[in-house]
Structure 1
Amino acid sequence: MDLRALKTFEACVRLGHFQKAAEELQYAPSTVTLQIQRLEADLGVSLFVRDGKRVIVTEAGRWLHHEASALLKSVRSMRQTVSDIAEGDGGTIRFAAIEPIASQKLAPVVANFCRTHPKVQLTMEVSGSKSIAERVRSGELDFGVCSAPSANLMLEFEPLVEEKLGVMMRADHPLANRNNIATGDLAGLTVLVKEPTCIYRELWERTVCLTGKNPSSCNEVGSFFVIQQMVKEAYSVGIVPMYGSLELEGSLIIRPFADMNPVVALGIVYKDKAFLGKASLLLMDAIQAVGLTAKNSGHPIRDALK
């Protein structure tokens, strides 16, 4: 009992005639007859009663037709699903990105991808760079958008953009009229920073250590959005990536540093493209297509999405 014989049997029952089944399937009539005879011999039952040129389905044949129809429908569905996955129009994607690039820059790219690939089941998580790299290595994620992973993880890293840190403050802050901020200008201020595991917090502390200065005390806040809202309420200043979208017109501004250059490269992290599905590769291409690599452009993703 093979799929071709079942397909022939289903056509015979549905059309009520061997000849019509042969025409639909583009078989010789003798081929249809032979396949039905072999199927009956394999099952040890008669599936049809011949009545001249007509065929009448037996009780066993009626049951088999019901089951065969469901099976053939399932096979067609499997074929279509496999084809969709191979073309990138189906399958699953599991990836993660750090904030704020996830919400501020990648969200439009991912939303457009989901619109054009509605059959793809996508899971997008927001996490820290270290966690993302480790989960890509373990296979929990297909890829990630984060800072460069540790060399011992043996992951591939394709740079997307270089991000700089700046100082977020209210538009009416005493430092707001300056084009850039020196480290010493923060002396005596309480500065809002992300948690220690955040790449931007690591970048801030690493850069400040190089200057030999520790100009202020820090309060930890686990969300750039919360930092934004606290600064808006006149609670000191925040250390954030220089995203124009984090500024609030007439309310909040971000100024670069004058005496240090805190820069981090963000990119796509993956283990081996040979093991990634077509849909994951297409999404990676879409993310890369919005701008050039970091060494060729200062903020390619931001510029491309304006």
Structure 2
Amino acid sequence: MDLRALTTFEAILRLGSFQKAAEELQFAPSTVTLQIQRLEADLGVSLFVRDGKRMVASEAGRWLYQEASGLLKKIGSMRQTISDFGTGNGGAIRFAAIEPIASQTIATIVADFCKLRPQVQLSMEISGSKSIAERVRSGELDFGLCASPSVNLMLEFEPLIEEKLGVLMRTDHPMAKKTCFEVNDLAGLTILLKEQTCIYREISEKILSQSGQNPFFGMEVGSFSVIRQMVKAGLGIGIIPMYKSLELENTLVIRPFVDIDPTVAIGLVYKDSNTLGRASLLLMNALRDLRTTEQLQQCSTSHPENAKCASPAAQSADHA
């Protein structure tokens, strides 16, 4: 069944005449007549009967009109949806990000993206780097924002930002008077650590191992938000990424390490950009702006006194 002929037939019934249909479709009247003749020949039935000087729909024609109207609306909707896929104004995005960058930095970017493209169906999950990378590899996620994945997964990784870890504590903590920390200062303190599978836990353990001793008591907590609340309640200290927004005026502060530089690269992880939808590519481009904008405000750049935090070796070099 020729779609153009069906469109012409629907227009004739809707507008009430061959002539009006020809005008709307910008066809010659002879073209409209020819299309209806071909449609009737294809179906083997007359769609119009003569009523005096007028042509009116036959019983078969009236039934076809009802069906054709719904079908053509559906086809129009399909065309618009496919077009939206191509422009990035439609489709679906499935991605995941780690904390705290998800809440502290990219939430606003994602919200602005969704406001600009309300027809896009977006699913944003919060998970760990290892899980995100594995799910990107399996195709469950279009892309992820996390630490560098294992080379065995054969995924693309684009570093966007570098997070520095510091020590979160109450402002009335005895160590809060120090502008910066040394690893040995952690000895004997109650330290709140992320779960074993977290990249930040791995880095924290490296920090602690460098002290050459293990006289501390560590507690495993699976959420930076919970760590923050527990520190606020007076339970120990936390080793966390240095975001200014995680501090709390007159209550919580983050101090950098002076004798080590604990950092982790966070970036986009994906399998093959050629297989991603236009909407996913546009959101990834928006996230890439993290490399060149001031949207990421880390605590280390927010404390002027941090410039004074230098290791004894570095200070000696300055004096030399």
TM-score norm. by structure 1 comes to 0.94
Q: Residue type matched to 1:245 in 2?
A: S
Q: 1:53 to 1:302 in 2, by over 3 A?
A: farther
SS of corresponding position for 2:166? strand
SS of corresponding position for 1:290? helix
Q: How far apart in 1 are the matches of 2:156 and 2:271?
A: 6
Give yes or no for the alignment of 1:200 onto 2:181: no
Displacement of 1:2 in angstroms is 1.4
Match of residue 160 from structure 1: 160
Give yes or no for the alignment of 1:171 onto 2:171: yes
Q: 1:197 to 1:153 in 2, by over 3 A?
A: same
Q: How far apart in 1 are the matches of 2:49 and 2:295?
A: 73
Q: 1:285 to 1:115 in 2, by over 3 A?
A: same
SS of corresponding position for 2:176? coil
Q: 1:53 to 1:287 in 2, by over 3 A?
A: farther
Match of residue 235 from structure 1: 235
Paired-residue identity, %: 67
Q: Residue type matched to 2:142 in 1?
A: D
Q: Residue type matched to 2:254 in 1?
A: I
For residues 151-191 of structure 1, give each alpha carbon's deviation from its aligned partner in whole angstroms, at most 9, with x where no partner exists: 11111111111111111100011011111011221211110
Match of residue 308 from structure 2: none
Aligned pair count reads: 299
Match of residue 13 from structure 1: 13
Structure 2 gaps, min length 5: 303-320
Poorly superposed stretches of 4+, deviation over 6 Å: none
Displacement of 1:8 in angstroms is 0.5
SS of corresponding position for 2:162? strand
Q: How far apart in 1 are the matches of 2:109 and 2:115?
A: 10
Match of residue 301 from structure 1: 296
Q: How far apart in 1 are the matches of 2:28 and 2:170?
A: 83
Displacement of 1:52 in angstroms is 5.3
Displacement of 1:206 in angstroms is 2.2
Q: How far apart in 1 are the matches of 2:188 and 2:208?
A: 15
Match of residue 76 from structure 1: 76
Contact persistence 2:161–2:266 (CA under 8 A): yes
Map 1:136-285 onto structure 2 (within 5 A).
Answer: 136-285=136-285
Structure 1 gaps, min length 5: none
Q: Residue type matched to 1:219 in 2?
A: M
SS of corresponding position for 2:169? strand
Displacement of 1:22 in angstroms is 1.2
SS of corresponding position for 2:95? strand
Q: How far apart in 1 are the matches of 2:216 and 2:37?
A: 89
Displacement of 1:42 in angstroms is 1.6
Give yes or no for the alignment of 1:67 onto 2:62: no
TM-score norm. by structure 2 comes to 0.90
Give yes or no for the alignment of 1:117 onto 2:117: yes
Give yes or no for the alignment of 1:128 onto 2:128: yes
Superposition RMSD in Å: 1.6
For residues 81-108 of structure 1, give each alpha carbon's deviation from its aligned partner in whole angstroms, at most 9, with x where no partner exists: 0000100000000000001111111100
SS of corresponding position for 1:80? helix
SS of corresponding position for 1:83? helix
